[in-house]
Amino acid sequence: MNDTDRKPTRMVDVGEKDITFRRAVASGSIRVGRTVRKAIDAGKIPKGNVLEVARVAGIMAAKQTAALLPLCHPLPIEAVSLHLETDDETVRVHAEVRTHARTGVEMEALVAVSVACLTVYDLCKSLPEGQSAVIETIRLKEKSGGAGGHFVFPGSSGKGDGPCDSRS
């Protein structure tokens, strides 16, 4: 008896693909409620400097993507930037990752956003309503490079309008 009854789980071979410039932008947000958002803006979160800690955690997590996601390829990473901003009840997160590799960095960008949001949750969960925070709408905004070419999330402008461009 053997295990060939379905297409096997594997890390697909990217060795035939060219090493090209790869860029991906991902976004997400965490709805923390107005009380917590105001506390973030005022620098009054007891555990620490929420936005900066979330940024560092997101950058470090991007580097751990291949260790976290079973079928992801380990890639060199040449740049990671995260942008965080508060708005009404929400912390909005954008991440941009760039490198030259045989495959794209979409997962690195998505992991960076996810871990940044989880870090915000962790630092704020002891505040009133903190545990009710909701991480929402994590998605790939834009991607370029490789045979698949340029992708822009439907509804976006797609002119390189990544949230990180005007700030880094």
Residue 32 is a binding residue for its own copies (CB under 8 A)? no
| Binding residue for its own copies, selected from 52, 128, 150, 165, defined by CB under 8 A | 52
How many residues contact its own copies, by CB under 8 A?
Answer: 91
Q: Which two structure tokens, joined as six digits, stand for 57?
A: 């955690």
Q: Which is nearer to its own copies, 11 or 160 (CB)?
A: 11
Q: Does 39 bind its own copies (CB under 8 A)?
A: no
Specify the amino acid at residue 108. E
Q: Are the C-beta atoms of 152 and 142 separated by less than 8 Å?
A: yes
Which of residues 25, 82, 105, 127 is near its own copies by CB under 8 A? 82
**By CB under 8 A, residue 2 contacts its own copies:** yes
165 a catalytic residue: no
Q: Is-contact 46 128, C-beta < 8 A?
A: no
Q: Which 99-118 residues touch its own copies, going by CB under 8 A?
A: 99-102, 106-107, 110-111, 114-115, 117-118
End-to-end CA distance of the chain, in Å? 56
Q: Answer whether 89's CB lies under 8 Å from 32's CB.
A: yes
CB of 165 to its own copies, least distance (A): 12
CA–CA separation, 32 vs 119, rounded Å?
Answer: 12
Which positions are catalytic? 122
